[in-house]
Structure 1
Amino acid sequence: MTWDTFHRRGEVLRAVVDATEARRDGVLPMEMPGVAETFGDELTLIGALQLRWHTRLAGSIERELMDQPMDLESAVMAAWRRTATEMTGVRRILDAYADAPTSEQMARTLTKAHRKDWALMASMAGKASPSDRAAADVGRSIEERARAAYRPVAVGRHRADDAEKASLLHRIKAHLAA
């Protein structure tokens, strides 16, 4: 991959992420300019979005652990919710394709990626080592609890219906993030 190709791929992926955040419909935007030429197929684009999600989740976990180092599991769940709020469109796509993969290879790929997310969450919560066979199950349980307490708040967007539901603290955070 040349330097120009690498940068073009990054630009297209950023545009895809921005589009998914604007649309939030769970549909992979293969029709966007440059997507087919850069990624080729749905599986490659899903893989890039999953990697973007995983990287953001890992960074969010690190930040949360700095803020609440005594309650690791709560910090990991808060990080998952923060990442889901920041990447709502991407999360909806990943969930939609995990629920209804378009191929057996996509199903395997997403299962493997989710297991890596879950192992990360379990290890960062202090519940398992990343190489522990049970880590993915423990992490999945942590994600399920994070999802159960998840209340999406628009970040960087000022939508009346979300703003009315959000607490003052969430509205201040959203404003600062914008």
Structure 2
Amino acid sequence: MTTMTWNAFHHRGEILRAVVAAADARRDGVLPMDVPGVAENFDGELDLLSALMLKWHARLSASIERELMREPMDLELAVARAWRRTADELPGVRLLIDRCSDHPDDAEMATAVSRAQEREWIRLAAAAGLANDESAAAARAGRRVEQEARALDAALAGQDTGSEDSAATLSFVERIRAVLAA
């Protein structure tokens, strides 16, 4: 096990920010292994992907907390909006995670992404008040929240999403239609 110095930790963080910027600019779902410093600071694609997933999960957690404070009565909508907002803030990272989930490079990546996705779905379900355990049913409930978030994204394309309450303007029937259309 290698010990990381404070300077190395900060340098790795700078490289990761450059990777996020490259992923957001490219939006091609390909890990930007060509960013200067990646080869020296990350131990291959899985290490880089793991760091990006950690960044995604940290941002998502913070977004969920903010949305739950704004929308304490409709937990599921608040969590879906938080997911959508995070995907809007980190579009390249979300594309990378989706691509690696749909088409992993190898069995190790498939296992890592699958486990991370299941844990995320369980956290989404718990935050939305749909589950209080780590069961398969909780994962399915969290997956539905993610699907709702993706549908909200599609339903709001072309609407003013700069407003914090734009997702709340969709009626319940419109939200169901968006989910069914996705």
Normalised by the length of structure 2, the TM-score is 0.83
- 1:5 equivalent in alignment to 2:11: no
Equivalent residue of 2:34, what SS? coil
For the aligned residues, what is the CA RMSD? 1.8
Whole-angstrom distance in 2 between the partners of 1:65 and 1:73: 9
Whole-angstrom distance in 2 between the partners of 1:134 and 1:38: 38
Whole-angstrom distance in 1 between the partners of 2:146 and 2:30: 22
Whole-angstrom distance in 2 between the partners of 1:152 and 1:14: 30
Q: CA deviation at 1:11?
A: 0.6
- Matched with 2:111 is 108
* 2:74 corresponds to which of 71, 76, 79: 71
Whole-angstrom distance in 2 between the partners of 1:149 and 1:76: 11
- Matched with 1:26 is 29
- Matched with 2:39 is 36
- 1:86 equivalent in alignment to 2:89: yes
- Matched with 1:159 is none
Change (3 A) 1:80 1:26: same
Aligned length, in residue pairs: 161
- Matched with 1:49 is 52
- Per-residue CA deviations over 1:49-99 (Å, capped at 9, x if unaligned) read 111101111111100000000000000000010001001110001101111
The AA in structure 1 aligned to 2:16 is L
Equivalent residue of 2:134, what SS? coil
Whole-angstrom distance in 1 between the partners of 2:94 and 2:46: 15
Q: Name the % identity.
A: 52
Structure 1 residues not aligned, in runs of 5+: 154-161, 174-178
